Structure 1
Amino acid sequence: MAAEKTFVVYVALAANLGIAVAKFIAAGLTGSAAMLSEGVHSLVDSVNEVLLLYGLRRSRKPPDRHHPLGYGRELYFWSFIVALLVLALGAGFSLYEGVNHIIAPDPLRDPTANYIVLAIAAVFEGSSWYLSLKSVQRRKGRMGYFEAFRGSKDPTTFTVLFEDSAALLGLAIAGLGVYLSHALHEPRLDGWASIGIAVVLALASALLARESKALLIGEAATPHLLEKVCAITSKVQGVRRVNGMLTLQLGPDQVLVAVSTEFEDNLTTGAIEDCVRRMEAATRDAKLPIVALFVKPQTPEQWKARVARQDHPLEDPNNDWNTL
C-alpha cells in the first residue's frame, strides 16, 4: 500500500515537471496569459509532489525519545502546506496574470503551439489522474467519492487526485480561452480564462486545506476501527465489558487508542496487568494500526458520567464502544 502511494506521487511529479516546461515554452511563443498560468500551475503541482514525498518519508520514521508516538502527523503538516501553496502561488499568480492581461491586453500570436501543448498535457495529466482514481477506488470500498474523501485519514492519494482534476479542468479552461481569444480577436478573453483557472485552484485549495487542517488538529479513527478494537478487547479473558474508547489519528496508519474497561471483580492488580497485556497482544495479532493502547479500569457508571459531561458526544451514547 505504501509503495502504491509513493508510485502515484512519482507519476504525478514526472508528468507535471514535463508539462510545466512545455507550457512555459508555449506561453513564451504565443503570449498567452492562460498558458502562462497553466505553466505556473504545473510547476506548483511539481513542488507539491516533492513536499508530499518528503512528508511520506518523514511520517515513516520510528518513534524516538522526543517523539514517542512517531512522526505520522508530518504528512498532515506537509499536506496542509501543499494546500496553501496551491492557493498562494497557483491561484494567486493566475489571478494576477489574468487581471493584468485584461487591463493591458496583448493579442495572441499563432496559437498552434498552445493547442499542441494542451493536447500533450491532457494525455499526461489524464494518465496521472487515472492512476490516482484507481488507487482511490481500491481504498473507498462502497463509499461515495466525496464521502471517502471526507473520511480518509491518508491525504496523499486524494491530494494528487484533486490536483490532477483541477489540472484537467484548468487545461479545458485554458484551451477555451485561447480559442475564443484568437477566433473573436478579443485578447481579454485569454485573461478571463486565467482568472477561471485561479477560481478552480482556489476551490481545490480550500477543500484540501479543510481536510488537512482537521487531520492536523486531531481526528478520531474510523468507526470501523473502533468496532474492531471493541470486538477484540471485549473477548479477552477477565474483561467484563468495554465501556467505550477514545481514539486519535496520528498518521494514515498510526492510531492512539484509550479504552475504558470494566474488569471482573475478583481480579487482583497483577491479574489486571496480565489482562491488559493480553488486550495489547490481541490488537497486535489482528495487525491493527495501533501505535499505543492505553487501558483505563472504569465502571459503567463512571463511563456514563464521563459521556454525560460532554456537551456534544462524538458518538451515540447508546453504543457500547462510544468515546470516553
Structure 2
Amino acid sequence: MSAGGGTKAIVAALLANSGIAVTKFIAFGLTGSSSMLAESIHSVADAGNQGLLLVGGRRAQRAATPRHPFGYGRERYVYAFIVSIVLFSLGGLFALYEAYHKWDLSVTELDRGAITSWHWVPVVVLIVAIILETWSFRTAIIESKAVKGNATWTQFVRRAKAPELPVVLLEDLGALVGLILALLGVSMTLATDDGRWDAVGTAAIGVLLVVIAVILAVETKSLLLGESATDEDVTAIEAAITSGPEVERIIHMKTLHLGPEELLVAAKVAVRQQSTADEIAAGIDAVEQRVRAAVPIARVIYLEPDLYRAGRATAGAAGAPGADA
C-alpha cells in the first residue's frame, strides 16, 4: 500500500480500537450499561474494519493476470465498501437495537435500567478511550494533510482516490463523537438513576454510525463504478499530449482509475495528414513518455492516431468507442 493509503493511520486506529474494545467489554460486564455495550461492538467493528483495509491493500498489490489484465488495484475499493456495510450493520443497527431494548427495560423495570454497581468504571473507561481515540484521529489527520493538498476536508473525503484515509478519518470522527455521546448518556444515568438516558445515548450512537456508514457506502460505490482522473491530472495529461509537434490536437480523451495509484488514459489524437507510419509510431511513443512524466500514475495509455474532423470528433466524444473511427 502506498503512502497515500495511510498505512500508519490504519495501524494506529487498529491498535487503539483493539485496546478500547477490551476495556469497554470489561466495563459493560461490570455495569450492564447499554452505551458501553454499543461502544464495545462499535470498537470491535472498527478494529475489524481496519483489518479489512490492510487486507485489501495487500491483495491489491497482486500482479496482473490474463483473467485480470489490469491488475487488482480496485480491490482496495471493494474492501472499503465492505467496511461501510460492517459499520452499518454491526455498529449502527446493533446500537439502535440495544437502545430500543434498554429503553423498554428502563420503562418497565426502572431499577434494572440504571447502573447499580461499579459506577465509576464506565466514566473512567470512556475518558481513557477518548484519549486513545484522539491519538488515533490525530494520526489520521496528519497522514491526510500530507496528501489532501489545498482541498477542504469535505472535498478530500469526496474526491480521494485512495479510500483508506477517508474511511479511517470518518471512523475516528464517529468514534470520538460516539464516545462523547456515551459519556453523556452514562453520566446522566448515574446522576438521575434513570436508565433511559443510557438508552438515549446508545440510540444517538446508532444514528451517528448509520449516517457515517451511508456516506462511506456512497463514496466507495462511486470508486467501484470507476472514477475519472482529477481535474488537475486531466489538465496535465492534455498539456503533455499537445505540448510536442507530434499531435495537432486531442479529438477526445477518457480516463479511468484502475486503482488509487493506477490510471488508464485512452485518447484519440489528431496527427498531421502527411505523417508516415514510422513518424506516427515514434510520435505516440514520445507522447506516452511525456504523459507518464507529467502524471506518473498514468500507467496504462492507449493513443489512437486519426485525422481531425469536427463532426466526427463530436460524435466520438459522446458516443461509444469507435463511433468516430
> Which of 239, 257, 260 pairs up with 2:268?
260
> Which of 155, 162, 184 pairs up with 2:170?
162
- Cα-to-partner distance string for 1:41-87 (whole Å, 9 max, x where unaligned): 00000000000001111112222222111111000000000000000
Q: Tell me the equivalent position of 1:66.
A: 67
Query: Per the alignment, in what secondary structure is the counterpart of residue 208 of structure 1?
Result: helix
Q: Which runs of 5+ in 2 are unaligned?
A: 107-112, 321-325
For residue 271 of structure 1, report the CA deviation from its aligned partner: 2.0
Query: Per the alignment, in what secondary structure is the counterpart of residue 249 of structure 2?
Result: strand
| AA in 1 matched with 2:95 | S
Q: Tell me the equivalent position of 2:110.
A: none
Q: Tell me the equivalent position of 1:303.
A: 313
Query: Per the alignment, in what secondary structure is the counterpart of residue 249 of structure 1?
Result: strand
2:233–2:295 CA contact under 8 A, matched in 1: no
In 1, the alpha carbon distance for the partners of 2:236 and 2:206 equals: 44
Cα gap change, 1:283 to 1:171, in 2 (>3 Å): same
1:13–1:45 CA contact under 8 A, matched in 2: yes
Residue 143 in structure 1 maps to residue 143 in structure 2:
no
CA RMSD of aligned residues (A): 1.7
Q: Tell me the equivalent position of 2:2.
A: 2
Q: Tell me the equivalent position of 2:323.
A: none
For residue 3 of structure 1, report the CA deviation from its aligned partner: 4.4
Q: Tell me the equivalent position of 1:193.
A: 201
Query: Per the alignment, in what secondary structure is the counterpart of residue 169 of structure 2?
Result: helix
In 2, the alpha carbon distance for the partners of 1:208 and 1:155 equals: 9
Residue 176 in structure 1 maps to residue 184 in structure 2:
yes
Judge which range, 231-240 or 11-20, deviates more.
Answer: 231-240
Judge which range, 30-39 or 56-65, deviates more.
Answer: 56-65
Residue 248 in structure 1 maps to residue 256 in structure 2:
yes
Q: Which runs of 5+ in 1 are unaligned?
A: 311-324
For residue 248 of structure 1, report the CA deviation from its aligned partner: 0.6
Query: Per the alignment, in what secondary structure is the counterpart of residue 233 of structure 1?
Result: helix
1:238–1:267 CA contact under 8 A, matched in 2: no
Q: Tell me the equivalent position of 2:134.
A: 126
Query: Per the alignment, in what secondary structure is the counterpart of residue 260 of structure 1?
Result: strand
Q: TM-score when scaled to structure 2?
A: 0.92
1:13–1:50 CA contact under 8 A, matched in 2: yes
In 2, the alpha carbon distance for the partners of 1:236 and 1:66 equals: 36
| AA in 1 matched with 2:243 | K
Residue 103 in structure 1 maps to residue 110 in structure 2:
no
Q: Tell me the equivalent position of 1:235.
A: 243
Q: Tell me the equivalent position of 2:17.
A: 16
| AA in 2 matched with 1:96 | Y
Judge which range, 180-189 or 200-209, deviates more.
Answer: 180-189
In 2, the alpha carbon distance for the partners of 1:220 and 1:152 equals: 12
Task: Give the alignment of 1:267-286 within 5 angstroms.
Answer: 267-286=275-294
Q: Tell me the equivalent position of 1:46.
A: 47
For residue 287 of structure 1, report the CA deviation from its aligned partner: 5.3
2:252–2:316 CA contact under 8 A, matched in 1: no
Judge which range, 105-114 or 185-194, deviates more.
Answer: 105-114
Counting aligned pairs with the same residue, the percent is 35
In 1, the alpha carbon distance for the partners of 2:139 and 2:309 equals: 48
In 2, the alpha carbon distance for the partners of 1:48 and 1:236 equals: 47
In 1, the alpha carbon distance for the partners of 2:124 and 2:3 equals: 33
Q: Tell me the equivalent position of 1:88.
A: 89
For residue 147 of structure 1, report the CA deviation from its aligned partner: 1.4
In 1, the alpha carbon distance for the partners of 2:147 and 2:176 equals: 23
